[in-house]
Amino acid sequence: MRLVMASANAHKAFEIAQILTDHEIQPRPDSLGEIVEDQETLEGNARLKASAVCAEAKSPAVADDTGLEVDALAGLPGVRSARFAGDFATDSENLSKLLKDMQQVPSGQRTARFRTVAVVVFPDGKELIAHGVVEGSISEEPRGTGGFGYDSIFVPDEGGGSTFAEMPAEQKNLISHRGRAFRSLAQMLNQ
């Protein structure tokens, strides 16, 4: 099936394409401007993006939204993960703010999870929705050079003590929130 990618994030688009290998993934239309992610939930933001791309491309569109939920910060940054340090913050600025906010949190209380909601919207209005969650903790400092966003400080429970940024992409995709959501979505698309 041909799916148009809603994400303009090259790292994320690459990860998604690696998982949805049975489908032809088209890039986000250049004609589409920025989509303001102003919904209160990850699902709302994913649907907003997929709907906008579907309308522009007149083709099924795939989008996701991901949030890092840190227990010591009452679930923040959550739906604002990409804008935690401000609306135009870089990955580095978001990461720095999170680590600063976590400075006084002891190692045993640094639990967190990544949550992804993936959505495909079809031109006829039909939707497919999949979820993926991975539990873990926040390291005290960045480790590794792979991945993007908060990957260098997120240590998944199933990762043997490595951050996502320290793992090869194949290993990360096997256990990651995004990998889980998009594998589930791929099963739905193949039915």
Active site residue 87: no
Contact predicate 164/147, CB 8 Å: yes
Tell me how far apart the alpha carbons of residues 142 and 31 are, in angstroms, rounded to a whole number.
Answer: 36
Residue 103 confidence (pLDDT): 95
The CA-based diameter of the chain, rounded to the nearest angstrom, is 50
What pLDDT does residue 120 have? 97
171 vs 42: CA distance, rounded Å: 24
H-helix or E-strand spanning residue 11: helix 10-19
Cα–Cα nearest to 62, from 15, 16, 5, 124: 5
DSSP 20: -
- The domain that holds 73 is classified in CATH as 3.90.950.10
Q: Which domain holds residue 34?
A: 2-190
pLDDT attached to residue 33: 83
Count of the separate structural domains present in the chain: 1
Name the catalytic one among 38, 64, 65, 151: 65
Say which residues have a Cβ less than 8 Å from residue 124's Cβ, sequence separation at least 6. none
pTM tops 0.75? yes
The tens-digit pLDDT sequence of the chain (191 residues) is: 899 999 877 777 887 888 888 888 888 888 888 888 899 999 999 999 999 999 999 999 999 999 999 999 999 999 999 999 998 999 999 999 999 999 999 989 999 999 999 999 999 999 999 999 999 999 999 999 998 899 999 999 998 999 999 999 889 988 999 999 999 999 999 88
**DSSP one-letter code for 27:** P
